[in-house]
Amino acid sequence: MWSTAGCSAPAICSPPGRARPSPPSEAGPVTAVYLDHNATAPLRPEARDAMLAALESVGNPSSVHRFGREARRLAEAGRRQVAALAGVAPAQIVFTGGATEANALALTGLGRRRILASAIEHDSALAWAAERIPVGGDGRVDLDALDRLLAAGGEPAIVSVMAVNNETGVIQPVAEAAAIARRHGALIHCDAVQAAGRIPLPAVGAEVDALSLSAHKLGGPQGIGALVLRDGLPLAPLLRGGAQEGRRRAGTENVAGIAGFGAAAAAVADRADMPRIAALRDELERRLTAEGAVVLGAGAPRVANTSCVAMPGVTAETQVAALDLAGVAVSAGSACSSGKVRRSHVLEAMGLPDDLAESAIRISLGPATDAEAIDRCVAAWIDLSRRRRSRAVA
């Protein structure tokens, strides 16, 4: 069974601690509530078991002896599970050190020097793209703008549009973007990190040419991801000097990481927990909006687990710190590194007024989230909101 009970409140941006003592309070020990699954999800028990089993065995999958063959068997089992999640053949999977690397591999390795990315992509995709596709106020990519950019001509392009935005949870029109890209002879890459296990993934082959995944967003370990490729699509490697991954990514395979990724992928593939999580998220938003919260991206289709909520007049940093003090871990958009919060390029691209964008936090639910977690979050949020309002009046 899932449990984050007993974990101490993590610092902003850091993954949840496991089974560490909780901070004492007058009412006795409190357990921390982890509502930052879009940053990283706790390791699923299935993934942990698969990893421990892999770590117990020795062997390089490239070795021909029995130990090597056993390591190869474990890696190939994980590959089949990830391939099943993506609905492709195992040979279409290239394991990487995470989605940051998968995005880099897609955007540098598919032979297109003209790179367009939606303005709300993760930085690891934006870093490679000279051209930005704007988004509307609802947080969805502007398809007419994509059409115009590609129609303006230029060399053959690759277009990167994510399946689900990590800050707002807004589902992007990937199939429509793919049809436009195809009409203009462009390739299309999709960062599906926040979609996996939550909504059906874009079809690799029929819709997109390449798709990025990351294990730690779906209950697998950190430091392992995959680029899923259309069957037969040639890819120039970033890392050279080895025949691994069909000569598309050199380096000894992360066997335990692949085993954990595979087990997590198999555990989330049926998306069975999503209706329960959607009900909890709807209840959270109902109670917060009744207290004056503004839900960003609410006008567009969204994944079940993500809520981007603004408390006008109170900075996101203040809210994250106040909720953390109350034992509730959320984040200020995804826009943080080294614990520092900076302006969100996603909310900026949506054209939100500064006061709203600067007061938005991201609350992201996961398998261990229950009604009590929602109660704790709502209570801490309302407490801060009311304190701020009474101070404003005084």
- Check residue 214 for interaction with ligand PMP (CB under 6 A): yes
- Check residue 104 for interaction with ligand PMP (CB under 6 A): no
Three-state secondary structure call for residue 308 = strand
Residue linked to tokens 């589902």: 171
Tell me the residue nearest to ligand PMP as measured from the CB: 98
d(CA 27, CA 349): 44
Which of 46, 191, 209, 273 binds ligand PMP (CB under 6 A)? It is: 191
- Please state the closest distance from residue 175 (CB atom) to ligand PMP, in A: 18
- Check residue 124 for interaction with ligand PMP (CB under 6 A): yes
* Residue 7 falls in the annotated catalytic set: no
- Please state the closest distance from residue 203 (CB atom) to ligand PMP, in A: 19
Reading the block at residue 26, the tokens are 């007058």
Q: Which stretch binds ligand PMP (CB under 6 A): 5-13, 92-100, 251-259, 313-321?
A: 92-100
Which of 168, 194, 244, 307 binds ligand PMP (CB under 6 A)? It is: 194
- Check residue 308 for interaction with ligand PMP (CB under 6 A): no
Burial 285-322 (b: 16+ CB within 10 A, else e): bebbeeeebbbbbbebebbbbbbbbbbeebbbbbbbeb
Which one from 7, 190, 308, 336 is the annotated catalytic residue? 336
The candidate with the shortest Cα–Cα distance to 336, out of 126, 38, 5, 9, is: 38
CB 328 within 8 A of CB 23: no
Three-state secondary structure call for residue 138 = coil
- Going by the DSSP 8-state scheme, the letter that residue 139 receives in this structure is S
Three-state secondary structure call for residue 244 = helix
- Check residue 244 for interaction with ligand PMP (CB under 6 A): no
- Check residue 36 for interaction with ligand PMP (CB under 6 A): no
- Check residue 306 for interaction with ligand PMP (CB under 6 A): no
Q: Which parts of this chain interact with ligand PMP (CB under 6 A)?
A: 98-100, 122, 124, 162, 166, 191, 193-194, 214, 225, 334
**Active-site residue set:** 336
